[in-house]
Amino acid sequence: MTEQSDTQIAAWRQKLIAFLETPLFLNSITGLILFNAVTLGLEAYPFEAVWFTDVLPVVDRIIVAIFVAELLLKMIAYRGEFFKSGWNWFDLIVVGISLFPDAGPFTVLRALRIMRVFRLFSVMPDMRKVVEALMRAIPGMGAILAVLSLMFYVAAVMATKLFGPTNPDLFGTLGGSAFTLFQVMTLEGWAMDVARPVMEAQAFAWVFFVIFIVLTSFAVLNMFIAVIVDSLQSKHFDEEEERAEKSEADAQADRDEMHRELTAIRAEIKALREAVTQGSAASPNSAAKAEDRDE
Enumerate residues 6+ apart whose C-beta is below 8 A from 182: 152
On the question of pLDDT at 200 being above 70, the answer is yes
What value does the mean pLDDT of the chain take?
80
Alpha carbon distance 218, 151 (integer Å): 14
| pLDDT value of position 160 | 93
Assign 127 a pLDDT band (cuts: 50, 70, 90).
Answer: confident
What DSSP line would sit under 201-225, residue for residue?
T-TTHHHHHHHHHIIIIIIIHHHHH
Closest C-alpha among 207, 224, 10, 172 to residue 232: 224
Map out the domains of the chain as residue ranges.
2-123, 128-249
pLDDT tens per residue, range 233-284: 776 666 666 666 777 777 777 787 888 888 888 888 888 877 777 766 655 5
Enumerate residues 6+ apart whose C-beta is below 8 A from 87: 121, 122, 128
pLDDT tens per residue, range 138-195: 777 788 888 888 999 999 999 999 998 888 889 989 999 999 999 998 888 888 889 9
Enumerate residues 6+ apart whose C-beta is below 8 A from 164: 171, 172, 173, 177
Q: Distance of CA 54 to CAs 11, 34, 57, 81, Å?
A: 43, 21, 6, 40
**Residue 164 per-residue DSSP state:** T
In residues, how long is the chain?
A: 295
* Strands, E assignment, the chain: none
Tell me if 2-123 shares its fold with 128-249: no
Fold exhibited by the domain 128-249: Helix Hairpins (1.10.287)
| Domain 2-123 coded CATH 1.10.3470.10 | no
